[in-house]
Amino acid sequence: MTKPINPTRRSILAAGAAAFALGGLASTRTAAQTTATATASQGRRMLGLLEVSAIGLGVQNHSRTFHTTIPNRAEMNKIIRRAVDDGVTFIDTAEVYGPHESERILGEASGSIRDQIQIATKFGFNVDIETGQWAPGLISDPSHIKEAVEGSLRRLRTDRIDLLYQHRVDPTVPIEDVAGAVRDLMDEGKVLHWGLSEMGPNTLRRAHAELPVAAVQNEYSMLWRGPENGLLALCKELGIGFVPFSPLGYGFLTGAIDMGTSFAPGDFRANTTRMDAENREVNLALVDLVKTWGARKHAAPGQIGLAWLMAQGPSIVPIPGTTQMPHLLENIGAADVTFTPTELAELNSQVSAIKVQGARMPPMVAEWSNVEAPARS
């Protein structure tokens, strides 16, 4: 029996048809205004015109972990389905995760629930479309984007991607050309919305002017507050949603890391100076803070970190990742933790008073962030 079209998708398609009839697809002003005035159902949030659950699920590590154990595939399927059963409908992956395997696992898990969820995936790293081999560099030329999306669709076992991000800005390709390729995919019904990750602010403005952007995905947490230096305000101005990745600081804000913690070989966190002993000792003040507020609000420390993020704006949708069912249920419960205006002002002040020490990523990875696309010649 064929399942009916997801009501969210139906409303998106109807809105798109109406915009086209009015010339709206060619009018950035009309599209941006529509995006800014869209409202979500109770308990949900808007990323542009895309309605999603207030908290999402990142499945990057469903094919591997920070540690040495590869997660059980069947258990990862159970986690995805349990998340959806508990109201989480926004699930985030990328071709480079695995590479390819994260998309495959999500595709396996989402067959019968596809119309209940919104899938986000990404292109932009130099991943071989057939073999999944990851080579150096970034690649976003239009022909490659279209081939990458075809590969994602196959692995995800779906006919459309709800939200397609450029994973990192290709410094050799004008963002207008990237937007043009995505527009073609939208015209074919293969992509419904698009976004960018870790781009420079001028590139975001140019991208949005060419084709309205639904969401930006950047790192954001109590441990890394860089987006507060203008990016969140820019997204609000343009009516663009914001999706924080690593909303728990790669597990730091859960209290799972202390001065006695050592990292397994290959663990990304070991290569970030904010985890160096002298910096970690300072940064643990944040862990003490979320533990204190956890006791005050009868919540886990990580729930405080997630609830704080969601309280920073109505279009902020964190995507914590996990490979463990208890952690999934704990993360979902963060949506029930609220702050009064007075409490939020107090917590914001306390967070601001803690000056995080060290860099959030190794220099080689940092080179991919805040990049501006070249001008179109």
Q: Is the dihedral of CA 326, 286, 60, 245 positive or negative?
A: positive
Distance CA 195, CA 197 (A): 7
DSSP state for residue 59 in the 8-state scheme = -
CB 132 within 8 A of CB 90: no
Residue of 97, 165, 220, 250 with catalytic role: 97
Distance CA 264, CA 262 (A): 7
Distance CA 374, CA 45 (A): 33
Distance CA 19, CA 209 (A): 16
Q: Does residue 220 carry a catalytic annotation?
A: no
Question: How much of the chain is helix, strand and coil, in % rounded to 5?
Answer: 45, 15, 40
Beta strands in 232-302 (DSSP E): 241-245
Distance CA 80, CA 70 (A): 17
Write the CB contacts of 274 (distance below 8 Å, at least 6 apart in sequence).
Answer: 223, 280, 283, 356, 357, 358, 359, 360
Q: Which tokens go with 44?
A: 């949900």
Write the CB contacts of 334 (distance below 8 Å, at least 6 apart in sequence).
Answer: 55, 299, 302, 303, 304, 305, 306, 307, 310
163-166 vs 215-219, strand pairing mode:
unpaired
Angle of CA points 222, 35, 310, to nearest 5°: 20
Element (H, E) at 17: helix 7-21
CA 255 → CA 65, 85, 154, 248, 249, distances in Å? 18, 27, 38, 10, 10
Catalytic residues: 97
